[in-house]
Amino acid sequence: MHLPILLILIPLFTVFSLGLFAFFSKKYIIPLVFTSSLASTAIIFYFIFNRETRLPFSYNLGSWQPDLAINILVDHYTLVIFAAMGLMILLSVIYSLTEITRNKAKFYLLLNVLFVGIAGMVMTADLFNFYVFFEITSISSYALVAYNDKDISLEAAFKYLMLGTVSAVFLLLAIILTYMATGTLNMVLIPERLGNLPVLTRQILIAFYLIGLGVKFAIVPLHTWLPDAYVGVPITYNVLSSALIIKTQFFVLMRILYILFGLNFLQDNMITTILLVWGIFSMLFGHAAAFQQNNLKRLLGYSTIAQMGYVIIAFSLGTPAGIVAGSFHMVNHGIMKGAVFFAAGNLHKAAGSYQLNKMQGLADIMPKTSLIFVLLLLSMVGIPPLSGFASKWLILEAALEAGYLLPGFMIILGSFLSLGYYLSIIINIYTGEKDLSKKSSARAVGLKINEILPAAALTAVCIILGLYPAILTGLIDRAPEFLLEQLNYINIIIGG
Amino acid sequence: MILVFPAIAILISMGIYAVLTQKNMIRIIIGISIVESAIILLLGAISYIPDGVAPILDQPYDTVVDPLPQALGLTAVVINASTTAIMLALVIKLYNRYQTLDIHEIRKLRG
Amino acid sequence: MLNPGFPLLLAALLGLILKARKIRYFLTAGALIISLILMFALPQDKILTTASFFDLELILNYISLTSRNIGLIFGLFALLVLVYGYSLLSLASLNLLNIFVGSSIAILFVGDYISFFFFWELISVAAFFLIYDKVEEKLRYTAEYYIIIHVLGGLSLLFGILLNYNFTGEIILAPPEAGLLFFIFGIAIKLGFLGFHVWIPKTYAAIPFQLAVLMAAYTSKVGVYALYRIVELETNIVAYFGLLNALGGILLAIFHSHLRIIISYSIISQIGYMIVGIGLSSQIAVTGGLFHLINHILYKGLLFMMAGTICYSTGFENLSDLGNLWKKTPLTFLAGIIATLSIAGFPFFNGYLSKALIKAGIDSQLLYYGLQLAGVGTSLLFIKVLYFAFLSKNNDPDIVKIPPLSMKLGMVLISAFMMLTAWNPAAVERLFQISPDVAYFSSSSILSGVLPFITALLLFPLLKKYISPHPEKVFQRDFFSKLGYSFINLDKKISQIHSGDLIRYLSWSLLALLVLLLIFLLAG
């Protein structure tokens, strides 16, 4: 079965063919991109539906023996990102159909490079390969941030690029040091060999990995590129970034920490505690900074930083419940934030700006989109029965179960803070003109079906998940087995 | 050979110092390039084995140098080249828009 | 089987399709009647409907005697508001009313903490949109204030629920074994305990009066119900806090002169009575507290209706603008008298029986005389309202709009209902299924009911010049909004450190690396 590698190859070949089609016949670009993302989605859903029989699954490139070959690996932990990919790839492509009007070939080329990078990062079991896919993701991200070619997007791209490159240097350094210490880059062989190293060496390695990847998933104070980058990019990138890219980077960091170093080492040497405190700080900082924003996208960027804080807290608990809760929130936040961005993009069509004070009165022009927006924001605060409540419940339950009362309380505090700025969005949208005659129906814009569909579909998912959260937890409940227990992961490839 | 590791450390520090103290964007990019080069030097250094030959398996050999860091190094060179290319492209664009190369003046995005 | 609150929530869903005002109006009325029928028809003390959330069992329908009684008055009062507001309630507010009342009723009949929390928050969200107005900035501000403080309470409740769940592994709605403090904080905000009461006058004085009539009956009463279900202490300490509330509410109210602010503060005081009843250990007092809740919804509703009618017909709401209305609006005056005597607990009026029950259950002198003092204050407060609004000759406002028949009918119906129940203690005992040995109409208890009112009547001429009305603003910054603003100032600083300078950002990330390495070096 060659399905996993296809997940990397399909977008890769799309990239090459796009280059050709851009020369010869532009009208095939959209069908090609659409087909390839449909195929990727189909593969992902194949794994999701056949998870009991097919997973865990490993694929040796070139049929070398397992410890020499480059391994591609799909296990239950991978399904966390697969769940997000399954929804987001297709929906973002659908939304981009009308959003991207110029340089279509270039945009979709970059987008597919991004998909290659994400799929590779998630599935690879080799640090060398991981580094390559990491850079593929990063470089396509930088280019996509600059895509709109406005002053602010260029500036944001440059800053992102600088921060990203400096951090990538540390990541590469960490990988090299790992190789120096163990003599291999195969993630299956490293854990055993790392175990003999002095504690301090391992801690320094972890520090480099943390900084190297931390910039990408925007942990405070490495977050600064994110709100900048979000302002001037296409909505499609906003969605993909907050739902997929930063989640993938964090996902990989967790795999590196838990698989290479092991849960016991992390807990005995304060790593989980540091991550926990750092996550709390990141969350509160993100919420606090979001208060002052009057640009909707920038505000949502800070809110993404804060929401990543929840994920970090949940994962650093180091318990199976924490992993499930964090994974749930990763996917769920992707769904909610994706829907919020799609809806925001639709609101932008009428308002012509993302400045909150220019979005006043939109509720009269776009009542349905505004209602969706309100529902989603309430979900982000954690008001039942929307899915945000389910993730908050899971995270809090996991935190309290592990005995962390104060972090639990901080999560409550964070939710309360978030209410403040989400309300200011709602209030701005739901502010009408006193004078009814001023209410210009001329501003009303017809939305195309491909613009409505993604937001509506994700909102529906959000409500359904709120009522039946077990759908998603059923998907990811075996994730901790392949994250917390190194042996399970190693046995997938070496064979027990 | 012993000197190579201190040299790498000095190069990294120099690069970071340049990044943090320079105002000119091109100089900052040069600083980052120095850091990256130092890392690639490290890759070369760790694969070095005295009297090793290239691991081409059609000839008899005694000791070979470690091929993996070299492969990684080549990849890193390619990646560095491409990021530097993007950086410089962005600098040109930014210079056209902002009419300056001073990084402290390119700050429309704040707050 | 359907939870009695669900017909209303379903009506809200149906209302999304049905856009005609008349149809929505009767849809709501029909749903209310179905809900009342359900409360009677369904068997008590049995788990009727369950659902699941993860692997937890949610009890969606469990009817107990207390919840049925409170549910009855919730449903009945909503019907009365529908009559009163026939010409006032807008299309959107009818649908929000469905959700608001529906979730207030539904919360009474759930048997687990998660559904309880769900409806607790749904009430706040529905109330937010009820208050909210696209055009009026003040209403937007009020709505924001309302939901922020209620979500704060809700989150505190959620944390309590989780602490309790973590400790016991149960989510059944029962007095918690852990995290009681967080439960109490959440409930205190909901029922407007002294110190957390600021939202009550702020909200009810600012919103349109027909909504004040409606909303005043539910939010804080749900809080009282929660207090009854959740807080169970060994001591009577809660009762003393209740007394504090009863007296504090009066003190806050007496110097105000905006009609609805006065009535709002007196809600706080009356809530105090209920807390006293519930906080005591004797069955009689608890029943008295719950019965007082029922009575309070009725006479407080009547008071708000009276204030609303005055506002509707004269356009003024401050006592300093009102006066000499008794001839112009005799029916409203009569309603005012009935409401005043009821709230004062005058014998043969509505509040008397419940106050008598509470007093019968009191075992401490301090509480008894404290409540009598609060009674004096309440009487004084509403004598002030009656005097300055209807009798005083200082002002003579004109009637600008004649109130429609529906408003009058609403007041008449509710007054009639109050008078009917006031005479019939046997019906009360049947309703609560108790048979206390309380002589309601013995001379001593009648005296104890009359005394506060008479005292207040005698005191009023002496105190008149101290509490005479004056113009006042509804909107004032209070402690909580100042706290909010100082937080926002702190935020501004946090936001400003993002100066846009790349070098600064780069040094932050290097600093983070340095700090990490230092931690490892020093700790290792």
**B36-53: per-residue pLDDT in tens?**
999 999 988 888 887 777
Q: Nearest CA to CA, how far is C147 from chain A (Å)?
A: 9
- Tell me the C-alpha distance between A100 and A234, whole Å: 8
Contact B20 C506 (CB under 8 A): yes
- φ/ψ of C360, rounded to 5, equals -65, -30
CA nearest C521 in A: which residue? A200
Residue A443 is predicted with a pLDDT of 56
Residue C102 is predicted with a pLDDT of 92
**A325-349: per-residue pLDDT in tens?**
999 999 999 999 999 999 999 988 8
Contact C503 B110 (CB under 8 A): no
Residue A52 is predicted with a pLDDT of 85
Alpha carbon separation from A216 to A134, A244, A341, A423, C425 (Å, rounded): 10, 11, 20, 29, 71
Determine what percent of chain B falls in helix, strand and coil, rounding each to the nearest 5.
70, 5, 30
- Domain residue ranges of chain C, discontinuous segments joined by +: 1-232, 235-471, 479-523
For an interface test with A, the pick among B90, B104, B106, B107 (most A C-beta atoms closer than 10 Å) comes out as: B90
Question: Is residue A300's pLDDT more than 90?
Answer: yes
Chain A positions in Cβ-Cβ contact with residue B108 (cut-off 8 Å) = 151-152, 155
Is the Cβ–Cβ distance between A453 and A367 less than 8 Å? Answer: no
Segments of chain C scoring below 70 in pLDDT? 474, 524
Q: Helix (H) and strand (E) counts for chain B?
A: 3, 0
**A121-178: per-residue pLDDT in tens?**
999 988 989 999 999 999 999 999 999 888 899 999 999 999 999 999 999 999 999 9
- What is the overall mean pLDDT for chain B? 88
Which of C169, C284, C178, C290 is CA-nearest to residue C226?
Answer: C290
Residue C124 is predicted with a pLDDT of 92
What are residue A186's DSSP bridge partners?
A126
Question: Is residue A62's pLDDT more than 80?
Answer: no
The residue with tokens 């000499």 is: C324
- Tell me the C-alpha distance between A234 and C235, whole Å: 62
Containing C448, the helix (H) or strand (E) segment is helix C443-463
Please enumerate residues of A whose Cβ is less than 8 A from a Cβ of B: 128, 131-132, 135, 139, 142-143, 146, 149, 151-152, 154-159, 161-162, 165-166, 168-169, 172-173, 175-176, 179-180, 185, 227-228, 231, 292-293, 298
- Tell me the C-alpha distance between B53 and A142, whole Å: 39
Average pLDDT over residues B29-42: 92
Residue A444 is predicted with a pLDDT of 60
Chain B positions in Cβ-Cβ contact with residue A168 (cut-off 8 Å) = 83
Residue B52 is predicted with a pLDDT of 77
Q: What is the pLDDT confidence band of residue A496, given thresholds at 50, 70 and 90? A: very low
Contact A155 B68 (CB under 8 A): no
Is the Cβ–Cβ distance between C387 and C457 less than 8 Å? Answer: no
SS3 C121: helix
Is the Cβ–Cβ distance between A243 and A173 less than 8 Å? Answer: no
Range of the structural domain that residue B34 is part of: 4-105
Contact B106 C503 (CB under 8 A): no
Cis peptide before C208 (omega within 30 of 0): no
Question: CB distance from C163 to chain A under 8 Å?
Answer: yes
Contact C502 B106 (CB under 8 A): yes
Question: Is residue A246's pLDDT more than 90?
Answer: yes
Report percent pLDDT > 70 for chain A. 97
Q: Where residue B25 sits, what CATH number does that domain have?
A: 1.10.287.3510
Paired tokens of B83 = 């990021």
Contact C495 A393 (CB under 8 A): no
**C325-361: per-residue pLDDT in tens?**
888 888 889 999 999 999 888 888 888 888 888 888 8
Which of C254, C142, C245, C162 is CA-nearest to residue C202?
Answer: C142
With vertex at residue C177, the alpha carbon angle to CA C171 and CA C178, rounded to the nearest 5 degrees, is 95
Question: Is residue A183's pLDDT more than 50?
Answer: yes
Is the Cβ–Cβ distance between A144 and A237 less than 8 Å? Answer: yes
Q: What is the pLDDT confidence band of residue A209, given thresholds at 50, 70 and 90? A: very high
Q: Is the dihedral of CA B44, B47, B51, B55 positive or negative?
A: negative
The one-letter amino acid at C183: F
In a domain, B64, yes or no: yes
What are residue C56's DSSP bridge partners?
C53
Residue A433 is predicted with a pLDDT of 66
Average pLDDT over residues A269-285: 91
Q: Nearest CA to CA, how far is B104 from chain A (Å)?
A: 12
In a domain, B35, yes or no: yes
Chain C positions in Cβ-Cβ contact with residue B106 (cut-off 8 Å) = 500, 502
Contact B36 A169 (CB under 8 A): yes
In a domain, B17, yes or no: yes
Question: Is residue A430's pLDDT more than 90?
Answer: no
Question: Is residue A208's pLDDT more than 70?
Answer: yes
CA nearest B91 in A: which residue? A158
Q: Residues 415..444 of A with a Cβ closer than 8 Å to C: which? A: 415-416, 419-420, 423, 427, 430-434
Contact B20 C503 (CB under 8 A): yes
Q: What is the pLDDT confidence band of residue A438, given thresholds at 50, 70 and 90? A: low
In a domain, B48, yes or no: yes
- Would you give the distance in Å from CA C148 to the centre of its chain? 17
Contact A162 C506 (CB under 8 A): yes
Residue C87 is predicted with a pLDDT of 85
Residue A439 is predicted with a pLDDT of 52
Is the Cβ–Cβ distance between A387 and A463 less than 8 Å? Answer: yes
Q: Domain tally for chain B?
A: 1
- Tell me the C-alpha distance between A371 and A456, whole Å: 11
What are residue A57's DSSP bridge partners?
A74
